[in-house]
Amino acid sequence: MGMQGDFFQLLKEQGYRFGNPATVNGAGAELTQATTILALRYRDGVLVAGDRRATAGNMVMYDRTDKVLEIDRYSVMAIAGVPATAYEMVRVLEHSFKYYRRTQLQELSFEGKLRAVSKLLKENVAAALAGTGAVAPIFAGYDHDQGAAKIYFYDILGAEFEGVEYAVSGSGSPTIRGILHYMNTWEAPLATLDEEQATIQALRLLTSAAEFDSATGGVNRESNLYPVIKLITSAGVRPIEDQQLKALFETKVARHV
């Protein structure tokens, strides 16, 4: 008897055979994937960050991937999983939100945006189970009805969960999830951090993830490569510029590594 509520176990008991998530149709063509993404609530809103490495098996395919994608002025989706599928989902969401805004002359509600993300993931279940397109994103945005920025994370079947204080996803997430729990419980609560303090912590967390997870890219100062970090407040989405990240990394992160 499988664990109650375990959808994967139920499929196995019914004879379903899962594909190899690292290959396409068993032909040995490895999918590009792997990452570490995180979101945390700070004093003024939500910070969303992601490393920039894309891998296929043990091979590093690209070190300049943007994994924190802006959907509209007030929402972003951080992607963990197969970039091709994730990028297509973001394009569909971007178009859907824009279409609603132009036809209804108002923004789609935050609740509506959450349902749209969940619907896309559910429609992708067949591809995910076949091993060709699993995505486990983090969605963050500003909820004007509630007057607050919020964080939600999803499983590949489309189930959504609110990250009240923080959320993490990707191959390096187990490392920094433990650190976030420690920080939020026994050090300063994340919600009390100002913008600079939250940015420093995001840089430190992704540097720690890269230290223990080969599929997560760290900072490359020689190539001027830093993580992608974006802030969401009542004023909308705002990226942190590389020059600011470089200054904070040099003074607040590198000397501790």
Structure tokens at 45: 């809103």
Q: Which residue ranges of the chain lie beneath pLDDT 70?
A: 1-34, 255-257
- For 133-147, how does the pLDDT look when each residue is reduced to its tens digit (9 = 90+)? 788 999 999 999 999
* CA Rg value for the chain: 18
Annotated active-site residue in 35, 36, 55, 65: 35
- Give the count of beta carbons closer than 10 Å to the beta carbon of residue 247: 11
Reply yes or no on whether 192 is catalytic: no
- Token duo for residue 100: 């609603």
For the range 65-71, what are the long-range contacts, defined as Cβ-Cβ under 8 Å and sequence gap of 24 or more?
65/35, 66/228, 67/35, 67/37, 67/228, 68/37, 68/228, 68/229, 68/230, 70/230, 70/237, 71/97, 71/113, 71/141
CB atoms within 10 A of CB 95: 11
Dihedral of CA atoms 193, 199, 202, 208 in degrees, nearest 10, equals -110
Whole-number pLDDT of residue 14: 55
Q: Which of 85, 45, 44, 86 minimizes the C-alpha distance to 69?
A: 86
